Structure 1
Amino acid sequence: MLKKMNKIAAITMLLSVMGTSTAFAAEPTAGVTGTGNVTIDNLTAANFTAITLDGTTKTTTSTVTDMTLIDATGTGAGWDVNLKATAFTNAGATHNTLNTLPEGSLALGAVTITAVGDSTAITNITTATGAIDNASGVTILNAGINEGMGTYTVGVAPMTLTLLPKDAKAGSYTSTITMTLTQGPSI
């Protein structure tokens, strides 16, 4: 009988220990702050290769240095990069006070973007190319909502300047290329 009571007491004690539990919950927090900015390196383009006019259409190219684009905003709002150039002008052209090449003379090569490290994969970042010496330029990169977060390498194949014999005069032509980076996608 004593053995039986000891077994019952042991089972009761085990059940009471198992049946009584206390839960503890941890609620850790992690503060995450974005920089508030999207940045890109300055655009650096080499001088165009010199050419000699011979009465035919000529093209010349300029290489563009790779750039680093960083979105550390922490918003996922996306961004756009636009390139726009002024018309190429030749202030020293003879028989004319100013010679300007026609709109569409300067075209970008292919634009590439590569994610660095653990950046958002490039699934919906669009690239574009085309003539940039016009009123609106070209939005060369567009990252939509929740795209483009992190660090990226941006490459532009050589730019091409086309000189038509009816428009080109001997001398030195200049243009200013402006790159605009805007937070939030525009297209």
Structure 2
Amino acid sequence: MYALTKPNTWFKMAVTLLVAALLFVGFWGTSHAADPTASQQATITINPGSRTITSGGDVTLPADTLNGAQQTTALALSNLGIVDASGSGAGWHVTVDAPQVSAGSKTLPAGSVQLDPVQSVSKVDTTSSATPAISTSSVAPVDTGSVTLLDAAAGDGMGSYSAALKNLTVIIPASAYAGTYTTTLTYNLSTAP
């Protein structure tokens, strides 16, 4: 008790407590400035690519021997590959046509070259937009005019797709001349109107 009765000791103790209290209040009571920030804008230019369509290589249908009656010969076709990297979102359609089957000056009748409808369409890349719609539901002659196989509405068909074709069939009439006949299927990928 003796130490606390000295005026100098009380004064030192009071000053020490006051300084401690001020430091405590100063530490907790001081408002801190907001953390500094920085921003950076990133810009990317996405240039348009192109539209492409690919089909399997040339095919040879099974040979046929004339027997006095109409016959057919058929062959399963490879998938079509369709890429729309235009970045336009305009939509597109795929058509197919072929000239009459011919062997030199001899031809098979119009309507002899028939194509089964597309069986299915799938995305090659999962980030592609919605798959195009299959346009035909029945066998169609492709040597009498253009046949639409697929339709991609505006905003759909952006990316890469595989379209499963089924059979190409050639109808051979009883009156056909013997020979090696050919035709060329042309698949056209065009912007939807």
TM norm. shorter chain > 0.5? yes
User: Helix, strand or coil for the counterpart of 1:9?
Assistant: helix
Structure 1 runs of 4+ off > 6 angstroms?
Answer: none
| 2:115 match | 108
CA contact (8 A) 1:109 1:157 kept: yes
| Deviations 1:121-153 (CA, angstroms, capped at 9, x unpaired) | 5x4411244221113x21212222222222223
Q: Sequence identity, in percent?
A: 26
| 1:171 match | 179
| 2:150 match | 141
Any residues of structure 2 matched to 1:55-66 within 5 Å, and which?
55-66=68-79
The reply on whether 1:89 has 2:102 as its aligned counterpart is: yes
Report the Cα distance in structure 1 between the residues aligned to 2:141 and 2:35, rounded to whole angstroms: 72
The reply on whether 1:126 has 2:140 as its aligned counterpart is: no
Report the Cα distance in structure 2 between the residues aligned to 1:145 and 1:99, rounded to whole angstroms: 40
Structure 1 residue 10, shift from structure 2 partner = 2.0
The reply on whether 1:31 has 2:45 as its aligned counterpart is: yes
| Corresponding residue to 2:162 among 153, 165, 176 | 153
Structure 1 residue 85, shift from structure 2 partner = 0.8
C-alpha change, 1:124 and 1:65, in structure 2 (3 Å) is closer
The unaligned stretches of length 5 or more in structure 1 are 93-97
Q: Structure 1: which amino acid aligns with 2:122?
A: T
Q: Structure 2: which amino acid aligns with 1:72?
A: A
Report the Cα distance in structure 2 between the residues aligned to 1:99 and 1:181, rounded to whole angstroms: 28
Q: Considering only aligned residues, what root-mean-square deviation do their CA atoms show, in Å? A: 2.6
C-alpha change, 1:128 and 1:56, in structure 2 (3 Å) is farther
Q: TM-score, normalised by structure 2?
A: 0.73
| 2:10 match | none
User: Helix, strand or coil for the counterpart of 1:86?
Assistant: coil
Structure 1 residue 83, shift from structure 2 partner = 0.6
Q: TM-score, normalised by structure 1?
A: 0.75
| Corresponding residue to 1:11 among 18, 28, 50 | 28
Looking at secondary structure, tell me which structure has more helix per residue: 2
| 1:95 match | none
Structure 1 residue 43, shift from structure 2 partner = 5.2
- May I ask how many residue pairs the two structures share in their alignment? 172
| 2:125 match | 117
